[in-house]
């Protein structure tokens, strides 16, 4: 099965735009975010478009240079839904009138439905919503009816005949509880099929990978993370033994992690070669204490090892990469020209562009949660799929000061205790398991007393945070008895640690990692 149809979300710059795409995919409709600065003829190249959603954005429609509608969109006869700026743009272009409000409306509001519409299927007469706008529609374009309003503004308008609708509020945010239902109603009235499922995706992508690769061979750099694993398993399903996976063990992984990665991939039937490169990485890191230099050394060593290994494989024209949809958007590809300012990280798997591979990127349409769903569909172990984020440069950025094997031994042991104790916390409810937790080792010595003896050894930091996307993070309010157990166990069981401290810095102003 191929992707047979799509909903296009035109990006007018609102920070919530990717959320619109996610919500549609969650209800089972394939959607993508595209730049409005292209004509309808350009937009519709490829998979047929069933409906178009015009997003919100920071501009005012009468501002000079404000983004406008794609040429030919209104004549295309495709169902449209404008959201916030998208609503104002539709109103203006269809002959209505938009005015600047006397005050900006930002925050929760209630809208009252006063006209029945398929858009409102399953909603109450009064619903909560999230408003964020300065301008508003003052005069409806001809053919439109007012469908709902708040105390201060027109909340929704529609032309049922042409299937053009518009909302002043944001249905994509959780503060609009019926928002997903409204989006679903819209794509339903537009005639969309609800067939965007993990199973269908797998089927479609196996056919696509087989078509792209033909009879050639493919190589994949496996990190043990979710994305590279799911990408590799998909490619393996499509082309079998012609895929070779290289797992470069850099010696910077967590306790027993290398063995676990090998085991979970071998169970899936992949041909994985573990490249024992620990010494090489450690040699490169000798004497290096600056965080950025560490990352650079690790990146360089990875590229060198990878190149050598690939050369030994013979003729392999294709490389698998676990690129995700947000990366595609961020890099301004895929019909999307705006680069969003999202923090980028150095990944050890980041290969230079002059490596002469053709890329196979089976996850480039997916969000992280969709990758996990596809992984489950492929039968990948849930422990691997739910794995916490782990920085590409591994333990090197948690081993402050010089990265040496003797210090890594201490850090791995302390980290294993932290993970073992916090893994026991429940997934839900008060005292639920944090999103990310680990130990870091500080190059600071402190005095302690162990038995009757004075000790003088390094300090372990425990870090445990809640977060959704790592952009911000709150410190986990761990129970004191748990903190005490961590301190006691680490100092007693790990030689080379005299003291344990808990990091109480949220992000911002701190970062999650220490380097």
Task: Give the binding range for ligand XMP (CB under 6 A) out of 18-26, 83-91, 177-185, 341-349.
Answer: 341-349
Q: What are phi and psi of 483, to 5 degrees?
A: -60, -40
Total residues contacting ligand XMP (rule CB under 6 A)?
13
**Angle CA(362)–CA(365)–CA(368) in degrees, nearest 5?**
90
Q: Are 3 and 157 in contact (CB under 8 A)?
A: no
State the binding string over 403-442 for ligand XMP (x if CB under 6 A, else -).
---------------------------------x------
Cα distances (angstroms) measured from residue 481 to each of 478, 485, 486, 487, 488: 8, 6, 9, 10, 10
Nearest distance from C-beta of residue 347 to ligand XMP, angstroms: 5
CB 503 within 8 A of CB 463: yes
Binding of residue 346 to ligand XMP (CB under 6 A): yes
- Least Å from the CB of residue 350 to ligand XMP: 9
Binding region for ligand XMP (CB under 6 A) out of 238-246, 352-360, 379-387, 390-398 = 390-398
How deeply is 352 buried, as exposed, middle or buried, from its count of CB atoms within 10 A (0-12, 13-18, 19+)? exposed
Region binding ligand XMP by CB under 6 A among candidate stretches 74-82, 389-397, 408-416, 496-504: 389-397
Residue 92's closest CA among 41, 10, 157, 18? 157
Contacts of 507 (CB under 8 A, 6+ apart): 465, 467, 472, 473
Question: Residues 482-511 vs ligand XMP: string with x where CB under 6 A?
Answer: -------------------------x---x
392 lines the binding site for ligand XMP (CB under 6 A) = yes
| Single residue of 66, 385, 470, 501 touching ligand XMP by CB under 6 A | 470
Residue whose tokens read 């129970």? 479
- Rounded distance, CA 141 to CA 133, Å? 20
Closest distance to ligand XMP from the beta carbon of 398 (Å): 9
- Binds ligand XMP by CB under 6 A, chosen from 13, 334, 389, 496: 389
At its nearest, how many Å lie between ligand XMP and the CB of residue 445? 25
Strands 318-320 and 218-222: parallel
* 393 binds ligand XMP per the rule CB under 6 A: yes
Q: What is the DSSP letter of 178?
A: T
Contact residue for ligand XMP among 391, 410, 464, 494 (CB under 6 A): 391
CB of 416 to ligand XMP, least distance (A): 17
Residues 43-82 contacting ligand XMP, CB under 6 A: none
Closer Cβ to ligand XMP, 128 or 346, answer by number: 346
Structure tokens at 31: 């959607």
Residue in this structure with the two tokens 């007469």, named with its chain if needed: 125
Name beta bridge partners: 32.
Answer: 8
Structure-block tokens of residue 500? 């344990």
Q: Judged by CB, which is closer to ligand XMP: 150, or 223?
A: 223
* Among the listed residues 114, 337, 345, 432, the single contact to ligand XMP using CB under 6 A: 345
Annotated active-site positions, please?
Answer: 84, 170, 172
CB of 502 to ligand XMP, least distance (A): 17
Beta carbon nearer to ligand XMP, 158 or 322: 322
512 touching ligand XMP, by CB under 6 A: yes
d(CA 260, CA 391): 17
- Strand pairing category for 145-149 and 6-10: unpaired
Q: How far is the CB of 18 from ligand XMP (least distance, A)?
A: 18
Among 347, 446, 455, 505, binds ligand XMP (CB under 6 A): 347
Q: Are 147 and 120 in contact (CB under 8 A)?
A: yes
Nearest-angstrom CA–CA distance, 419 and 138: 57
> 169, 130 in Cβ contact below 8 A?
yes
Q: Does 284 bind ligand XMP (CB under 6 A)?
A: no
Please, are residues 404 and 431 in contact by the beta-carbon 8 Å criterion? Answer: no
Residues that bind ligand XMP (CB under 6 A): 345-347, 389, 391-393, 436, 470, 507, 511-513
């Amino acid at each position: 099965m191929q992707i047979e149809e799509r909903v296009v979300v035109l990006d007018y710059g609102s920070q919530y735009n990717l959320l619109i795409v996610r919500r549609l995919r969650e209800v089972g409709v394939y959607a993508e975010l595209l730049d409005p600065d292209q004509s309808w003829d350009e937009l519709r190249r490829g998979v047929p478009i069933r409906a178009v959603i015009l997003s919100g954005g920071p501009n005012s429609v009468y501002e000079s240079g404000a983004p406008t509608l794609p040429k030919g969109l209104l004549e295309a006869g495709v169902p449209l839904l404008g959201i916030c700026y998208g609503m104002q743009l539709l109103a203006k272009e269809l002959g209505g009138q938009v005015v600047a409000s006397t005050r900006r409306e930002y925050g929760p509001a209630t809208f009252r439905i006063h006209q029945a519409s398929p858009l409102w299927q399953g909603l109450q007469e009064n619903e909560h919503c999230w408003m964020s706008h300065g301008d508003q529609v003052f005069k409806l374009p001809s053919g439109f009816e007012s469908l709902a309003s708040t105390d201060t503004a027109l909340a929704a308008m529609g032309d049922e005949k042409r299937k053009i609708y518009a909302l002043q509020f944001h249905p994509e945010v959780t503060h609009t509880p019926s928002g997903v239902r409204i989006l679903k109603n819209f794509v339903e009235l537009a005639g969309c099929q609800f067939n965007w499922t993990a199973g269908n995706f797998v089927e479609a992508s196996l056919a696509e990978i087989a078509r792209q690769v033909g009879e050639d061979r493919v190589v994949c750099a496996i990190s043990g993370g979710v994305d590279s694993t799911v990408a590799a398993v998909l490619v393996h399903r499509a082309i079998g033994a012609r895929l070779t996976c290289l797992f470069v063990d850099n010696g910077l992984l967590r306790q027993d992690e290398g063995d676990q990665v090998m085991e979970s991939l071998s169970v899936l039937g992949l041909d994985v070669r573990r490249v024992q490169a620990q010494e090489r990485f450690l040699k490169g890191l000798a004497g290096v204490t600056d965080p950025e230099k560490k990352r650079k050394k690790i990146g360089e060593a990875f590229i060198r090892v990878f190149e050598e290994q690939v050369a030994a494989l013979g003729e392999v024209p294709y490389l698998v990469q676990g690129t995700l949809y947000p990366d595609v958007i961020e890099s301004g590809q895929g019909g999307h020209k705006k680069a969003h300012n999202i923090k980028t990280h150095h990944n050890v798997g980041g290969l230079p562009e002059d490596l002469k591979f053709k890329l196979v990127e089976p996850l480039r349409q997916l969000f992280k949660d969709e990758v996990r769903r596809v992984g489950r569909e492929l039968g990948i172990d849930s422990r691997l799929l739910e794995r916490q984020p782990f920085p590409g440069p591994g333990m090197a950025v948690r081993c402050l000061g010089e990265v040496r094997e003797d210090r890594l031994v201490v850090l791995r042991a302390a980290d294993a205790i932290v993970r073992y104790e916090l893994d026991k916390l429940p997934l839900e409810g008060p005292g639920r398991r944090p999103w990310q937790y680990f130990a870091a080792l500080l190059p600071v010595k402190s005095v302690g007393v162990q038995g009757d003896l004075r000790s003088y050894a390094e300090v372990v930091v425990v870090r445990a945070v809640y977060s959704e996307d790592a952009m911000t993070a709150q410190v986990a309010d761990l129970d004191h008895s748990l903190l005490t157990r961590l301190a006691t166990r680490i100092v007693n069981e790990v030689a080379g640690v005299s003291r344990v401290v808990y990091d109480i810095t949220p992000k911002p102003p701190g970062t999650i990692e220490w380097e």
